[in-house]
Every structure is written in C-alpha cells, then in structure tokens.
Homo-oligomer: A and B are copies of this chain.
Amino acid sequence: MTRDRTPSAQTIELLAALLSQRPEWRHGYDLSEQTGLASGTLYPMLMRLSDRGMLESKWEPSPHQGRPPRKLYRLNAAGATFAREHAKPRTGTLRVQPVRS
C-alpha cells in the first residue's frame, strides 16, 4: 500500500526554496545550487512532488547551443499550501528570528 510520510528536512528545504521565489519558474540545477542538494536527491524529489500534484512543470528549450534543455518547476496552489503548512516551525512555540545586519 502507499504510505504517506511527513516531509523530510530535505523536502522542506526544497519546498522553501520553491516558495521563496514563487511564482517564478525554477529549474533543477538552480534549485540544487540554492539548496545544496545533490542531483540524485533533488531530481527524484521533484518528480515525486510532481506526481503528487504539488508542482507544475514544463520544458524550456536549451538557452545556449550545446547546453541541455531545462525542466522548469513551480508550486501550484496545492503545493504552495503544503509548503506553507510545513515550512513553519514544527511545534506551536513562536520563535523570533534575529536579523543579521
């Protein structure tokens, strides 16, 4: 049967990255740089999130000759809700983030 796990730290990081620049389209390489996630972790994650209806996606033709085409992703409504849901601190305790100057 299909089990449903609560999002892992990596998933939350990816969702946060996608949420941070919504509604712009992002590609995997871009997201791997922002999050530090390796390709073998990131691409399967993007596919799973897509399969679960969290993301829209489309292909963009190679920007320069000889470069691979990019697959673009973006949170849809369901995905954005899900991301916001899980982006906030786990417990009910409110925490104030000090801002570094």
Contacts and interface: CB of A to CB of B under 8 A. Distances in A.
Nearest to A62: B69
Interface of A: 59, 62, 65-69, 71
User: How often does this chain occur in the complex, in copies?
Assistant: 2
9 contacts: A59-B65, A62-B68, A62-B69, A66-B68, A66-B69, A66-B71, A67-B68, A68-B68, A68-B69
A59 to B, nearest CB: 7
Contacts of A68: 62, 66-69
Nearest to A71: B66
A69 B69 CA distance: 8
Contacts of A65: 59, 69
Contacts of A59: 65
Nearest to A43: B66
A28 to B, nearest CB: 9
